[in-house]
């Protein structure tokens, strides 16, 4: 569905990372963790394309959704300048989202801006640990800490938690029945390998550039295995969530 959504809050979390809270009760009713919104920054033709941004939190009691985004160009810089009370053009929720398993010991593993869609998972699950990796600046740690059982942090510069990558701090992945992950492709590839070695079911959210967001333009195609055959699927409609074992990261 397409709606003009009121901006309740738009604040900087750390350098170049922002959180926007939108009032969108109809979209909230249909949303689940792992889905995304397709956002038009302004009414002009520049920037032309909408921006796909993952849903971070779903506040069903207030009819609001939170998104976390990184300023990486003109479009997101314009987003960061939007003020409370303004309206923004939103299509969503889009994509398939995560299926949550309440009775299974779970972990979320995220890297950088990829931690954002994992926050709603730990908020909804009752037995979930979190492994989060950052380059240097961290964000949303208090919310993760209050929602998950255990919180493990890695930073590349060693300023907080362990020094290194998030995959370096996962010592016993076989104690989990389900893993949910989102982040850079190199991280997702390594998590796929770790889970395959210990026969742990893993679901990943893939971040790809998108054009239309509804499966028409084929910009976001990724290679997926079905049975003994490989096919290309569209991240925007068939994903962004896939079983890790299905995804070819070497394509």
Question: CA 205, CA 207: separation in Å to the nearest integer?
Answer: 7
Is residue 100 a part of any domain in this protein?
no
pLDDT digits over 220-242, tens only? 778 887 777 788 888 888 879 99
Residues 182/204, Cβ–Cβ less than 8 Å: yes
Q: Which of the listed residues 68, 94, 120 is the one where a domain comes to its end?
A: 94
Do 111 and 208 sit in the same domain of this protein? Answer: yes
pTM: 0.93
- CATH (domain of 223): 3.40.50.80
Q: Do 110 and 192 share a domain, yes or no?
A: yes
Q: Which long-range contacts (CB under 8 A, 24 or more apart) does 76-82 make?
A: 76/18, 76/41, 76/51, 78/41, 78/42, 78/47, 79/10, 79/18, 79/20, 79/39, 79/41, 79/51, 80/10, 80/12, 80/18, 82/7, 82/10, 82/20
Instruction: State pLDDT tens for residues 94-107.
Output: 999 999 999 899 99
Looking at the fold, whether 51 and 20 belong to one and the same domain comes out as yes
Number of domains in the chain: 2
Q: Is 237 a member of any domain?
A: yes
Residue 82 belongs to what domain range? 2-94
Same domain for 72 and 158: no
The answer to whether residues 76 and 10 belong to one domain is yes
Q: In terms of domains, do 201 and 138 share one?
A: yes
- Among candidates 20, 12, 37, which has minimal Cα distance to 84? 20
Whether residue 251 is contained in a domain is answered as no
User: Does residue 88 sit in the same domain as residue 142?
Assistant: no
**Gap between the Cα atoms of 137 and 159, Å rounded:** 9
What mean pLDDT do residues 135-163 have?
Answer: 95
pLDDT at 96: 93
Q: Are residues 118 and 181 in the same domain?
A: yes
Task: Give yes or no for residue 19 having a pLDDT over 80.
Answer: yes
What pLDDT score was predicted for residue 211? 66
Q: pLDDT tens digits, residue range 62-97?
A: 999 999 999 988 889 999 999 999 999 999 999 999
User: Considering the domain boundaries, does residue 180 fall inside one?
Assistant: yes
Q: Are residues 89 and 148 in the same domain?
A: no
| Tens digits of residue pLDDT in 161-208 | 999 999 999 989 999 999 999 999 999 999 999 999 999 999 999 987
């Amino acid at each position: 569905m397409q709606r003009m959504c009121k901006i309740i809050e738009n604040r900087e979390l750390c350098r170049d990372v922002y959180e926007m809270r939108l009032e969108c009760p109809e979209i909230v009713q249909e949303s689940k963790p792992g889905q995304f919104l397709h956002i038009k920054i302004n009414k002009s033709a520049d920037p032309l394309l909408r921006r796909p941004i993952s849903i971070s939190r779903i506040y069903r009691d207030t009819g609001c959704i939170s998104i976390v985004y990184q300023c990486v160009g003109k479009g997101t810089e314009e987003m960061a300048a939007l003020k409370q009370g303004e309206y923004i053009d939103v299509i969503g929720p889009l994509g398939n989202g995560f299926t949550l398993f309440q009775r299974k010991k779970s972990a979320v593993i995220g890297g950088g801006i990829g931690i954002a869609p994992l926050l709603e998972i730990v908020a909804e699950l009752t037995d979930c640990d979190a492994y989060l990796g950052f380059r240097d600046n961290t964000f949303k740690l208090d919310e993760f800490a209050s929602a998950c059982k255990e919180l493990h942090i890695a930073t590349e510069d060693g300023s907080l938690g362990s020094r290194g990558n998030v995959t370096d701090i996962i010592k016993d992945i076989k104690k989990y029945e389900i893993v949910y992950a989102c982040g850079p492709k190199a991280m997702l590839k390594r998590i796929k390998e770790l889970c395959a070695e210990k026969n742990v079911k893993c679901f990943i959210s893939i971040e790809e550039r998108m054009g239309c967001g509804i499966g028409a333009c084929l910009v976001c195609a990724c290679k997926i295995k079905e049975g003994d055959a490989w096919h290309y699927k569209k991240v925007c409609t068939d994903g962004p969530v896939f079983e890790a074992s299905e995804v070819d990261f070497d394509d």
